[in-house]
Amino acid sequence: MKVLKTESDLHQFFSGLRRGRKKIGFVPTMGALHDGHLALIRRCRSECAVTVVSIYVNPIQFDRREDFEIYPRDLEKDLALLKKEKVQGVFTPEDAVMYPPGFSTRVRVEGPLVQGLCAPHRPGHFEGVATVVARLLGLVRPHRLYLGWKDYQQYRVLERMVRDLALPVQVVGCPTVRESDGLACSSRNLRLTPEGRAAAAAIYRALKVGQSMIQLGETSPKVVLEKIREVLREEKDIKIQYVEAVDAETLSPKEALGPGTLLACAVLIDGVRLIDNIVVESGRPEEFFSEKGGKTP
């Protein structure tokens, strides 16, 4: 495994590999790696000859400076994990490599994809994400880009950016990896108190209740969203930021819910912001009622 810090490290790495016909897969991360990241990396490893992972805490995507400062960083541990996964290249740039003097470009996706969900609560966030990923793609030039559905809006925004700018990369979306009680894996989970961590299981439970209502034929957003809020409110430690039902492709609000609906929410627990979502497929709702937990959708 090679640790690459600069643009010229990347050039050397790829010329050493004689990139020619080899399929290169890329997994951008902010480090503090967990099972969710590892699932993306394993998928990439299974589909590509060369896997490159980046670890970079991108300052321009944080709407609050203190969030950026307290973001967990443990490079040693991450590198040990990546070595075990047999990743060939890890790109760990400093700020001056990502944003060298004179850097003046911003990439901004507009329209319904960034009108709801997290966008109004995190001004500038998706612009920061699109800008950093566009530059990372320019530096690494992968054939495939692996993104998690855990950050579903980010996935759709980046997919749109790739299409609109005709970037020569295939976007691969990967399912959300969850803890045994359903909570989506996230580096932020470590910041929860034991009580907060227990309460956090209600997020997925609430989304699953919404999903099964829709699968049973409920079409009213008002009814479904109110039920989800009700389940969340059963936990006094949960503060709801938003609960929304939108079209899973366009992210526009949906008037009648059905298959193809994305149910998504953001909550605050112990001051930690957690997001999650579920896409409603046409399925058999009985499966939900007989489920014993620990199963991913």
For ligand AMP, the binding residues (CB under 6 A) are 29-30, 36-37, 39-40, 147-148, 150-151, 174, 176-177, 184-186
Rounded CA-CA distance 172/52 in Å is 15
Quick check: is 37 catalytic? Answer: yes
Rounded to the nearest whole angstrom, what is the least distance from the CB of residue 216 to ligand AMP in the complex? 27
Question: Which residue number, 36 or 210, has a Cβ lying nearer to ligand AMP?
Answer: 36
Question: Which residue number, 161 or 224, has a Cβ lying nearer to ligand AMP?
Answer: 161
Rounded to the nearest whole angstrom, what is the least distance from the CB of residue 151 to ligand AMP in the complex? 4
CB-CB neighbours of 191 under 10 Å = 17
Rounded to the nearest whole angstrom, what is the least distance from the CB of residue 172 to ligand AMP in the complex? 10
Tokens of 150: 């855990």
CB-CB neighbours of 10 under 10 Å = 20
Question: Which residue number, 14 or 26, has a Cβ lying nearer to ligand AMP?
Answer: 26
Rounded to the nearest whole angstrom, what is the least distance from the CB of residue 176 to ligand AMP in the complex? 4
Rounded to the nearest whole angstrom, what is the least distance from the CB of residue 174 to ligand AMP in the complex? 6
Active site residue: 37, 121, 125, 143, which one? 37
Tell me phi and psi for residue 220, to 5 degrees: -80, 120
For the chain, where are the E strands, in sequence order?
2-4, 24-29, 50-55, 89-91, 144-148, 170-174, 238-247, 261-269, 272-280
DSSP string, 128-191: HHHHHHHHHHHHH--SEEEEEGGGHHHHHHHHHHHHHTT-S-EEEEEPPPB-TTSPBP-GGGGG
Tokens of 252: 């526009």
Termini Cα distance of the chain: 33
Rounded CA-CA distance 236/253 in Å is 28
Question: Which residue number, 128 or 221, has a Cβ lying nearer to ligand AMP?
Answer: 128
Question: Which residue number, 132 or 213, has a Cβ lying nearer to ligand AMP?
Answer: 132
How far CA 23 is from CA of 20, 84, 186, 217, in Å, comes to 9, 21, 29, 44
Rounded CA-CA distance 253/263 in Å is 10
Rounded CA-CA distance 49/39 in Å is 17
Rounded CA-CA distance 282/278 in Å is 13
Question: Which residue number, 131 or 225, has a Cβ lying nearer to ligand AMP?
Answer: 131
Rounded to the nearest whole angstrom, what is the least distance from the CB of residue 29 to ligand AMP in the complex? 4
Q: Any idea which residues carry the catalytic annotation?
A: 37
